[in-house]
């Protein structure tokens, strides 16, 4: 993954939400659905506008926000222009809930040539981008869990944060390499979620079992995959006001999570894989009955390693499933015949592209957004492109290519 690779100054390939992922992580289903009672948002939250979160070349700059207005106008460094200050170093994920934006940043590097950022968690007005609250890293601590042998009674979140989903101001869910947490922005309390971690190295370390890839909110709950060295592969559910996992569903094959996506009929699809094994397993899950309705094996490895974010590696539109199959190619699993079809080679539209930053699909209109980079190192600002495709065609053409408005994008968010 990108953060580890950056320490080695090696390139990586990446995807969000390009938040955080499937479009469901961008539009919280837990919000009221009565459109009559909900005022239309304007400004940066206007419908048909696009926010792009840039992680930034973290040895050279902080994170930033770019904006594509409904009329196609592009604006960069939006947050800095409005507030006069910057996001934290290495911006990771963003989530909109109502008229607020929640922006998650690592914010642990203190470099002389980079201005101090506004913090690890920033809450801003979605319409104006004006900062409302900001939490520095030292404020985001949690009580040491029972059985953990670390000396301090309160522990800090891990340096590499990964995802954020908001159900309401009391239920801001955050993931990192240690665990999942529930943050209450009204009391400023951070709670460790029981069942989201294992104690490793004889109790010295806290190790997350939760995969942030494709976490999504559906009907007031949050769903995520779990697996890896410390856990069996499974689907987990988080609920409001609860500091423990609500329920789990064993998935079986594959020990790592590729991602999650939601089909038109409400079926949740979870993809799993094992490194070195050219097979992906797709589990079609009925959330109401909490059962696996169908299991499918496909002969390709769908891996989140092509992206630098915690987004899903599978995306659905009209029940077709889209995924990266190489550093620059998108393939499609057809809902008509169940076959894998080559779909997009981004080098045809962006010859300088050597990897993905992230991608997402706006399921409201079938637009696919992809951010690319020419090279990927923590001390290099690369050439980049934002490509927009229309998935309503069997032979998609790029409707727009916007150059150099992203610096290692970690999320593309249709508003």
Cα dihedral 18/62/96/350 (nearest 10)? -20
DSSP reduced 3-state for 357: strand
Residue with tokens 């690890």: 120
**Most confidently predicted of 25-29, 164-168, 307-311:** 164-168
Number of Cβ within a 10 Å radius of residue 129: 20
Q: Which residue has the higher pLDDT, 68 or 112?
A: 68
Please check whether residue 54 is in contact with residue 346, taking contact to mean a CB–CB distance below 8 angstroms.
Answer: no
Q: What are the extents of the domains in the chain?
A: 2-410
Share above pLDDT 90 across residues of the chain, in percent, rounded to a whole number: 82
One DSSP character per residue, 301-339 reads ---GGGSSSS--S-EEETTEEEEE-SSSEEEEE-TTT--
Tens digits of per-residue pLDDT, 171-202? 999 999 999 999 999 999 999 999 999 999 99
| DSSP β-bridge partners for residue 191 | 182
Q: Maximum distance among all alpha carbons in the chain?
A: 59
Please check whether residue 199 is in contact with residue 148, taking contact to mean a CB–CB distance below 8 angstroms.
Answer: yes
How wide is the angle at C-alpha 84 spanned by C-alphas 81 and 89, nearest 5°?
95
Number of Cβ within a 10 Å radius of residue 37: 7
> Phi, psi at residue 234, to the nearest 5°?
-160, 165
Q: Which of 356, 265, 277 is nearest to 311 (CA)?
A: 356
pLDDT beyond 90 at 142: yes
pLDDT grade, residue 50 (50/70/90)?
very high
pLDDT of residue 4: 39
Q: Topology of 2-410 in CATH?
A: Methylamine Dehydrogenase; Chain H (2.130.10)
Distance CA 372, CA 358 (A): 7
Distance CA 195, CA 208 (A): 9
In angstroms, what CA-CA distances link 91 with 98, 332, 349, 379? 21, 30, 27, 15
Residues 354-375, mean pLDDT to the nearest whole number: 95
Q: What is the DSSP letter of 90?
A: S
Residue with tokens 């097979």: 279
pLDDT of residue 38: 55
> Who's near 288: CB < 8 A, 6+ residues apart?
none
Scored b (16 or more CB within 10 A) or e, 298-320 reads: beebbbbbbbbbbbbbbbbbeeb
pLDDT grade, residue 276 (50/70/90)?
confident
pLDDT of residue 20: 33
């Amino acid at each position: 993954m990108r953060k580890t690779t950056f320490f080695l100054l090696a390139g990586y390939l990446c995807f969000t939400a390009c938040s955080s992922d499937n479009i469901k992580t961008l539009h919280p289903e837990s919000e009221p659905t009565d459109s009559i009672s909900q005022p239309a948002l304007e400004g940066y939250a206007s419908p048909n506008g696009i926010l792009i979160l840039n992680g930034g070349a973290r040895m050279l700059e902080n994170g930033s926000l770019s904006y594509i207005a409904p009329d196609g106008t592009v604006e960069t460094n939006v947050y800095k222009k409005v507030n006069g200050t910057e996001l934290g170093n290495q911006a990771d994920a963003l989530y909109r809930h109502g008229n607020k934006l929640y922006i998650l940043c690592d914010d642990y590097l203190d470099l002389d040539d980079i201005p101090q950022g506004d913090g690890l968690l920033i809450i801003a007005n979605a319409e104006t981008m004006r900062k409302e609250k900001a939490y520095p890293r030292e404020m985001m601590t949690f009580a040491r869990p029972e059985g953990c042998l670390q000396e301090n009674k309160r522990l800090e979140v891990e340096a590499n944060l990964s995802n954020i989903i908001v159900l309401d101001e009391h239920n801001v869910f955050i993931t990192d390499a240690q665990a999942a947490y529930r943050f209450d922005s009204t009391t400023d309390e951070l709670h460790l979620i029981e069942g989201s971690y294992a104690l490793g190295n004889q109790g010295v370390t806290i190790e997350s079992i939760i995969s942030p890839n494709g976490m999504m909110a559906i009907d007031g709950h949050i769903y995520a995959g779990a697996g890896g060295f410390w856990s069996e592969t499974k689907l987990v559910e988080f609920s409001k006001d609860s500091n423990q996992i609500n329920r789990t569903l064993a998935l079986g094959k594959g020990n790592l999570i590729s991602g999650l996506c939601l089909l038109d009929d409400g079926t949740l699809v979870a993809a799993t894989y094992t490194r070195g094994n050219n097979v992906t397993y797709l589990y079609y899950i009925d959330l109401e009955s909490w059962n696996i309705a169908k299991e499918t094996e496909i002969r390709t490895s769908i891996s989140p390693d092509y992206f630098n974010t915690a987004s899903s590696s599978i995306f659905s539109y009209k029940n077709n499933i889209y995924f990266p199959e190489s550093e620059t190619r998108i393939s499609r699993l057809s809902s008509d015949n169940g076959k894998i079809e080559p779909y997009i080679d981004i080098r045809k539209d962006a010859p300088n592209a050597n990897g993905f930053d992230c991608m997402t699909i706006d399921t409201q209109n079938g637009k696919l957004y992809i951010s690319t980079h020419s090279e990927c190192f923590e001390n290099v600002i690369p050439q980049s492109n934002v490509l927009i495709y229309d998935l309503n065609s069997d032979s998609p053409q790029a409707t727009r290519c916007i150059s150099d408005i992203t610096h290692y994008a970690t999320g593309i968010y249709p508003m």
